Amino acid sequence: MPPFPLLRLPQLVLCKVFRSLNIEEKIKLSICSKKISFQINNDRMYSQKVIVSLDMINKQIRVHSENDEDTFKVFIDLDIRKRNYSKQQFSIACRTVKVMSTRKKFKMYWKNYQEGFLSSIRHLLKMFQCKVSTSFICHGSDIFQPTISTLFDLQVEFETLCIHFKRSKDENLLWNQISNNLGLVENLTISSVPDIDFTPVFTSWPQQISIMNSAWFTRESLLTCPCTTITLWNSNLENKDLDEIFRKWRAGELPNLKYLKIHNLSFTDNGEHILGMNLRDLNGMVIQTDDGSKKATIELRFLWMIEMNVTPFE
């Protein structure tokens, strides 16, 4: 059978062919030529929804569907001439790079890891018009901060962004750069070493936020937070703070809130009333906003975790 003239097919047919391919096949095909890459990029609006997850420690990018059924790993390595694998050169994000593409593995060889990650991410984002995700595992890598910083410059959207503060000046610089661009982030998770003297200041907010050591996140911070989901671990908030938060929510504050979880080992049932009740009696209680538009169910997980689920009235 002679080679198939794929690019001579009508555009609509070509798009349908691309839609029949899985993530792995699409990525492998995309580097065959610039023309094919261009055609695949043209079809990205109709592409399956994928997420590009960065794993900078293991030097890999996992491209996967939302349900994780379709997944493919791209490995980033350094281009060291001594290695004598069967590699071919391809053009990726306007750079010529050696690639080892076997049926099971896809490895790209770059001059340095940062260039490798950034160029590969750019190529993948053009193909899939998707969001990027990071995990805490990335923080052990030197290239995490410069890469994330560049992605924010490029206005890339994040499905999940994990930031870890461990008393480094670079982290503060990164935070100062991204804190006014958090609208690009769907889920932000912040962790920090205990007793850190740096308090992040928010000039913009993600859609959902989760803070691991949240002692620095005060009642005032919470009441100004427009996120739909707020999760605070190891919080310093007390009964009187909860009382004010619930009262203000009833009065119409925190209008976007759908779910609130606060974990605090020092919540006490010491007679300090919340909404005129003992802490223990709050479990299962339903409160509603003064205007009657929303209700919320409060649940207690033991005495150190309180959850609030908001639902609109039908």
By residue count, the chain amounts to 314
Burial level of 288, CB count in 10 A (0-12/13-18/19+)? middle
Q: How far is the CB of 109 from another protein (least distance, A)?
A: 14
Name the residue nearer to another protein (CB basis): 10 or 292. 10
Q: How far is the CB of 181 from another protein (least distance, A)?
A: 35
Q: Are strands 208-211 and 259-263 parallel, antiparallel or unpaired?
A: unpaired
Name the residue nearer to another protein (CB basis): 24 or 253. 24
Q: How far is the CB of 95 from another protein (least distance, A)?
A: 16
Name the residue nearer to another protein (CB basis): 35 or 273. 35
- Token pair belonging to 166: 């461990």
What is the distance between the alpha carbons of residues 75 and 199, in angstroms, rounded to a whole number?
36
Name the residue nearer to another protein (CB basis): 92 or 190. 92
What is the distance between the alpha carbons of residues 31 and 36, in angstroms, rounded to a whole number?
8
What is the distance between the alpha carbons of residues 106 and 31, in angstroms, rounded to a whole number?
11
Name the residue nearer to another protein (CB basis): 33 or 150. 33
Q: How far is the CB of 93 from another protein (least distance, A)?
A: 16
Footprint of another protein on this chain (CB under 8 A)?
Answer: 1-13, 16-17, 19-21, 25, 28-29, 31-33, 35-36, 88, 90, 99, 101-103
CB 41 within 8 Å of CB 128? no
Q: Residue 237's CB: how many other CB atoms inside 10 A? A: 22
Q: How far is the CB of 31 from another protein (least distance, A)?
A: 6
